[in-house]
């Protein structure tokens, strides 16, 4: 079906991408504005892929005339005129120099973009100083088109954006949908102060008239449910002109007369408690041959350590740079790594050890060595329009940040979309999820199509986005888990002594302040293949404390291969023989504790804890679940600190080290991280 997808929720002046799904590049498609609010002059062009920018608040209906009939798309527009910021150079793999060195690896690029700590306007990391090397419209897409985001994401009203969760239940002969709105942290808005709007998905047979709406609930008579249908909801704060990221459920009647309700934005259950391990495929294994067989040899060690999910950097044919992000053939495994059969054998072996595998999905660009780009540059009319061009006259392809070895795909071309959807179909059945490279540089509507595509075959398929800074709207039927770029940035700044340790707590709070719903998943990392090693840059005590953070804060911890053994090089062959056993034991103890204690897991509540300490490199917080309360104390200071917890009654045994950390004065002596049991305060 060519229907363009779910309803859109945006602000006045924001731009959304319109494209037919599952496109036939040889077919004809035509867009039109079916209905619009009074006073609107907004229009849409006649190309198969278009942009639409609403000019007044209200509800619009956009129509698509396609080979399989006419389709309607509802666009709900809220009153706002604020603009999103540009994306930040993340120091990624396609930079100038060695073909993908990533510069100096500083803080995912956010430091080089003019950030000096703190949060500005609700954006991850607080953007200032613009974006290095981005030429905006000359690159073919404006800033607002990187992700189809609403303006309120970045500059919400007092206290930030509201949040919303939509649940469903069966009550006798009715399906009841309950929306739970929540204010942003610090916002003085009672639950009753929010309006909730419900929208039936235009793709489904359920009619709007079948919903009986009372306040924050919608009811549907089971007799009026004609088949699989999706309902979307959004919370609105009229006083501050802000609105939430939408949530959605699917309602499916079964053959045996039951009705199943599915929360569509909920991450896969298995992903909530994983320890993710990134493997830079060409420098991970011992010896000179970085093959899948050599990587397989280390699976027993990873499984024993507690790793249960692996992210492989790209494994496809490329232009020869070891990072692999400059792809020359999206359907073939790189020759130096092995064959397709050997790749699939590696995945099967990982599964035997209880380890899931994420495939690094690169969709924004190809290498300039790709056959299609070579033909485009040679003037082949069949492929010229596959790419964006900085300068047609000089044959200069558009890229971000002056990356010299890649060329951006043109997503206005249906041939490109068809080709990349075929790439998704090729690899999704072989793996457990995608880590989506440069997600901000691909239209949101395309990610939503990919999500529907992979989830229709495997509801538990995981989608992880690399977006810097993170974007709350990407949890609207796009991705399950998001890189926590704010936490990464703050950990680096704390490690350098340029932020107080309480910035760890600020990072967790900011997830809600920017509008992420509580059910969004976050990847917590202190280094990866784009960054210098934390140990090398910040020091040993700071590294141990940061490790404590990523394993005890609410989220998914990421280890970059070699991090756990004290590897100091970023992309060189890992020196397994030089393992720092003490550091490895520290990581292992943290990982084991997280698995053993539900309070540290996905269901554990999070709460800042008052402390009394001399050094501002100390912070504490509590995690609580199933009647257990644990207090975590992190010490980023270069020396052990005596820490008092005035509001807590705690035991003196550190659950990480097993040591008694009590002192004669009753304080806790904390070297880098301590986790202690506390009296439940509920």
Q: How far apart are CA 480 and CA 474, in angstroms?
A: 9
Q: Return the SS3 of 414.
A: helix
The residue among 328 and 81 whose pLDDT is bigger is: 328
Average pLDDT of 305-318? 98
**What confidence category does residue 666 fall into, taking pLDDT thresholds of 50, 70 and 90?**
confident
Mean pLDDT on 302-326: 97
Residue 160's pLDDT band, with cuts at 50, 70 and 90, is: confident
Report, as an integer, the average pLDDT of 120-128: 28
Take residue 11 and report the two structure tokens written for it: 């602000």
Dump pLDDT digits (tens) for 69-95: 999 999 999 997 333 334 444 444 443
Region 351-365: mean pLDDT is: 98
pLDDT above 80 (res 142) = no
User: DSSP letter string over 98-140?
Assistant: SSS--TT--GGGTGGGT--SS-BTTBTT---S--TT--GGGGT
User: What does the block give as tokens for 253?
Assistant: 């009647």
Name which of 114-118, 474-478, 535-539, 582-586 the model is least confident about.
114-118
pLDDT given at position 615: 95
pLDDT for 107 equals: 32
pLDDT at residue 153, as a whole number: 33
pLDDT value at position 682?
61
Confidence category of residue 253, pLDDT binned at 50, 70, 90: very high
Question: 71-85, 163-177, 286-300, 596-610: which range is least confident on average?
Answer: 71-85
For residues 185 and 161, give the distance between their C-alpha atoms in angstroms, rounded to a whole number.
9
pLDDT score of 165: 98
Mean pLDDT of 374-398: 94
The 10s digit of each residue's pLDDT in 427-441 is 999 999 999 999 999
Q: What percent of the chain has a predicted confidence (pLDDT) above 70?
A: 88
Give catalytic residues, as residue numbers: 437, 466
> Strand pairing partners for 196?
235
Chain segment 211-230, per-residue pLDDT in tens: 999 999 999 999 999 999 99
Helices (H) and strands (E) in the chain, counts: 12, 35
pLDDT at position 113: 28
Per-residue pLDDT, 126 = 29
Position 103 scores a pLDDT of 33
Would you state the structure tokens that stand for residue 408, as one six-digit string? 């951006």
Query: DSSP class of residue 208?
Result: G
Angstrom distance (rounded) from CA 620 to CA 611: 7
Residues 6+ apart with CB under 8 A from 666: 644
Residue 658 pLDDT > 80: yes
Residue 323 has pLDDT above 80, yes or no: yes
Distance of CA 40 to CAs 53, 59, 62, 152, Å?
11, 11, 13, 21
Q: Work out the pLDDT band at 291, boundaries 50, 70, 90.
A: confident
Averaged pLDDT for residues 263-286: 95
pLDDT at 184: 86
Cα–Cα distances in angstroms (integers) from residue 546 to residues 312, 557, 573, in the given order: 23, 11, 24
Q: 604 is written with which tokens? A: 């554990």
Alpha carbons 466 and 165: distance in angstroms, whole number: 24
- How high is the pLDDT of residue 148? 42
CB within 8 Å of 413: residues ≥ 6 apart? 25, 49, 385, 386
Which of 52, 50, 41 minimizes the C-alpha distance to 15? 52
Contact 433, 359 (CB under 8 A): yes
* Residue 59: band (very low, low, confident or very high) from pLDDT cuts 50, 70, 90: very high
Burial class of residue 484, CB neighbours in 10 A (0-12, 13-18, 19+): buried
pLDDT of residue 288: 66
Tens digits of per-residue pLDDT, 470-528?
999 999 999 999 999 999 999 999 999 999 999 999 999 999 999 999 999 999 999 99
139 falls in which pLDDT band (50, 70, 90)? very low
pLDDT reported for residue 521: 98
Least confident of 151-155, 176-180, 241-245, 253-257: 151-155
Residue 145 has pLDDT above 50, yes or no: no
**Listed residue (400, 324, 311, 399) closest to 362, CA to CA:** 324
Residues with Cβ < 8 Å from 605, sequence gap 6 or more? 622, 623, 624, 625
């Amino acid at each position: 079906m060519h229907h363009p997808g779910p309803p859109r929720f945006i602000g006045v002046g924001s731009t959304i991408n319109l494209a037919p799904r599952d496109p036939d590049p040889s077919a004809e498609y035509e867009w039109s504005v079916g209905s619009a609010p009074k006073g609107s002059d907004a229009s849409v062009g006649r190309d198969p892929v278009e942009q639409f920018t609403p000019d007044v608040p209200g509800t619009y209906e956009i129509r698509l005339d396609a080979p399989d009939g006419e389709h309607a798309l509802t666009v709900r527009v809220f009153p706002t005129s604020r603009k999103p910021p540009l994306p930040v150079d993340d120091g990624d793999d396609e930079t100038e120099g060695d073909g993908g060195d990533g510069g100096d690896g500083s803080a995912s690029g956010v430091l080089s973009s003019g950030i000096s700590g703190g949060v500005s306007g609700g954006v991850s990391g607080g953007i200032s100083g613009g974006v290095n090397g981005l030429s905006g419209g000359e690159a073919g897409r404006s800033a607002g088109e990187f992700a189809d985001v609403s303006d309120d994401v970045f500059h919400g009203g007092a206290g930030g954006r509201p949040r919303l969760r939509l649940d469903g239940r069966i009550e006798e002969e009715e399906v009841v949908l309950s929306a739970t709105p929540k204010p942003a942290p610090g916002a003085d808005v009672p639950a009753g102060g929010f309006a909730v709007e419900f929208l039936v998905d235009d793709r489904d047979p359920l009619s709007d008239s079948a919903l009986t709406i009372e306040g924050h609930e919608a009811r549907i008579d089971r007799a009026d449910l004609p088949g699989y249908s999706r309902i979307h909801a959004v919370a609105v704060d009229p006083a501050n002109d802000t609105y939430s990221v939408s949530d959605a459920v699917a309602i499916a009647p079964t053959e045996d007369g039951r009705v199943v309700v599915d929360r569509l934005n909920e991450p896969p259950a298995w992903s909530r408690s994983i320890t993710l391990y990134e493997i830079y495929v060409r420098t991970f294994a011992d010896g000179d041959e970085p093959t899948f067989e050599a990587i397989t040899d280390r699976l027993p060690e990873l499984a024993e350590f507690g790793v249960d999910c692996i992210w492989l950097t790209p494994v496809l044919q490329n232009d020869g740079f070891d990072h692999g992000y400059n792809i020359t053939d999206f359907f073939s495994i790189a020759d130096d790594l092995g064959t397709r059969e050997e790749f699939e054998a590696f995945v099967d072996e990982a599964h035997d050890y209880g380890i899931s595998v994420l495939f690094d999905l690169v969709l924004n660009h190809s290498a300039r060595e790709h056959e299609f780009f070579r033909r485009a540059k040679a003037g082949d009319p069949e492929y010229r329009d596959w790419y964006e061009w900085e300068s047609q006259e000089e044959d200069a392809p558009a890229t971000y940040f002056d990356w010299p070895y890649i060329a951006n795909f043109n997503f206005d071309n249906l041939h490109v979309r068809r080709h990349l959807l075929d790439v998704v179909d090729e690899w999704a059945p072989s793996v457990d999820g995608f880590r989506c490279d440069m997600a901000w540089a691909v239209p949101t509507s395309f990610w939503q199509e990919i999500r529907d595509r992979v989830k229709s075959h495997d509801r538990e398929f995981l989608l992880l986005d690399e977006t810097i800074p993170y974007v709350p709207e990407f949890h609207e039927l796009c991705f399950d888990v998001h890189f926590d770029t704010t936490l990464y940035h703050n950990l680096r700044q704390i490690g350098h002594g340029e932020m107080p340790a309480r910035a760890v707590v600020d990072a967790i709070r900011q997830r809600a302040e920017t509008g992420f719903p509580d059910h969004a998943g976050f990847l917590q990392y202190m280094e990866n293949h784009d960054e210098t090693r934390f140990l090398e840059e910040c020091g040993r005590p700071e590294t141990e404390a940061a490790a404590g953070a990523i394993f005890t804060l609410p989220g998914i911890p990421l280890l970059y291969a070699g991090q756990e053994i004290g590897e100091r090089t970023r992309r060189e062959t890992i020196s397994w023989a030089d393992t720092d056993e003490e550091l490895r034991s520290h990581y292992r103890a943290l990982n084991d504790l997280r698995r053993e204690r539900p309070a540290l897991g996905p269901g554990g509540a999070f709460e800042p804890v008052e402390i009394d300490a001399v050094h501002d490199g100390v912070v504490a917080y509590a995690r609580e679940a199933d009647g257990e309360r644990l207090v975590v104390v992190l010490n980023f200071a270069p020396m052990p600190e005596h820490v008092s917890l005035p509001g807590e009654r705690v035991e003196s045994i550190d659950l990480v080290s097993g040591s008694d950390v009590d002192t004669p004065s009753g304080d806790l002596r904390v070297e880098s991280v301590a986790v202690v049991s506390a009296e439940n305060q509920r």
